[in-house]
Amino acid sequence: MRRPKSTVEQFLERCEREYGPLPLVSEEGVKITFVENLRLLGWIDLVVIIDEHVTREGLDAAYPLIDEWRERLVKEQGRWIYDGNNQLYEDLYYLQRELGFTYRQMAEQLNTYLIALVDNYGKESAESRRTEIRSQAIKLMEAMGIKSDYAEIWFSEGLKIIADGSRTFPPDDPITSQKVKGKVSYWRSKWKLPLPEQDKGRQKTR
């Protein structure tokens, strides 16, 4: 019985059929290969392998071939941009799909991290580092759908809580499980990724 073709094999066959043959090794010896992303099932990553004997000039000469393969990959699966909040949403999706985290557990993780940032801000003496920590916390809250003015208020109130020594933060604040669900679900549907098992169960009971 023949094994089913992998996602990469199907991709390479489609490329040759639709765009024509294209080598996977440049004349200078730079190798191009494709691997399935272990975290985003069905997604393909382009990998460039540069052996020790390849010179800088040889690498420069291989760029047109690399770009051609990259464009073929983009045409097949769309453009993926690891900037903005995409990496955060991918990490949350991975926690959900592969490790079985619930939306509540993910919200708790994010809130715990925010509290740690507030704590570190209070301990840090360098102003540049304090600015970086505060910005990181605000951006995380905004990425999860929290308005910037409330994010600023929450951070300031958090500093007061730390300073008072109580370290008792309100539960489910500032990031709720509903906010996590909204962001992760929208991101997953945007990239047409599989529905996690926990959400499949909810769909069946509706």
The pLDDT value recorded for residue 206 is 38
The pLDDT value recorded for residue 196 is 76
Q: What is the mean pLDDT of residues 90-117?
A: 91
The pLDDT value recorded for residue 109 is 93
Peptide bond preceding 21: is omega within 30 degrees of 0, i.e. cis?
A: no
**125-178, pLDDT tens digit by residue?**
888 889 989 999 999 999 999 999 999 999 999 999 999 887 788 888 999 999
Q: What is the mean pLDDT of the chain?
A: 86
Q: What is the rounded distance in angstroms from the CA atom of residue 141 to the CA atom of residue 149?
A: 11
The pLDDT value recorded for residue 202 is 55
pTM: 0.62
The pLDDT value recorded for residue 205 is 39
The pLDDT value recorded for residue 104 is 95
CB 117 within 8 A of CB 136: yes
